[in-house]
Amino acid sequence: MSVDSEKVVLKRLFDLIKKNALIFGKFTLASGEESTYYFDIKKAVFDPETIDLIATAILDRLKDEDFDFLGGMEVGAIPLIAAVVLKSFKEGRPISGFFVRKKLKDHGTRKRVEGWVEKGSKVILLEDVTTSGTSIMEAIGTVEEMGCTVKKVITIIDREKGAEERLKSLGIEFYALFKKSDFGV
């Protein structure tokens, strides 16, 4: 994708997130922190245009990356992974994906990691909204236990509460499509 095309995609995606996913009120975040705003990305990703733009933007970020599989933590990363995997196939550069369960399944295959990932592979992880990095650290720990190397974490929104610094201290590259400050919050 050309630089101009990428700017158009990101501008439209920004506008859709601001209109449909940024809400104001009183919220308790997964970290336990209170906030007067919330990025409802889970709602946004079920809008066809928004998820297509997200997949386009992420796939563009992946074009020069050396990795084997794309994954993330349930629940937030699942629709992102599915959209990118589908779009990658349609564009003739297929990427297989996986997700990490929060808890070990107590039935069926009893797997914590579902989908396509192999021991010792290089992976990139996706997240919908990143705050302090606690959720993504759980996914990192799980795939590293499999002998995988996490090359990069890509998030839709970085709430700018320490995740980037935390990941960089581990030598993991971090990229956010948007930062909370981009939205003036």
Structure tokens at 156: 């839709």
pLDDT score recorded for residue 113: 85
127 pLDDT more than 80: yes
- The arithmetic mean of pLDDT across residues 14-27, rounded, is 96
Torsion angle in degrees (nearest 10) through CA of 66, 95, 81, 117: -80
- Global pTM? 0.93
CA distances from 12 to 15, 17, 18, 29, 109 (A): 5, 9, 10, 26, 41
DSSP 3-state assignment of 109?
coil
- The arithmetic mean of pLDDT across residues 86-99, rounded, is 96
pLDDT score recorded for residue 108: 65
DSSP state for residue 180 in the 8-state scheme: G
pLDDT score recorded for residue 83: 97
Domains assigned to the chain: 3-183 (3.40.50.2020)
- The arithmetic mean of pLDDT across residues 3-21, rounded, is 92
- The arithmetic mean of pLDDT across residues 64-77, rounded, is 94
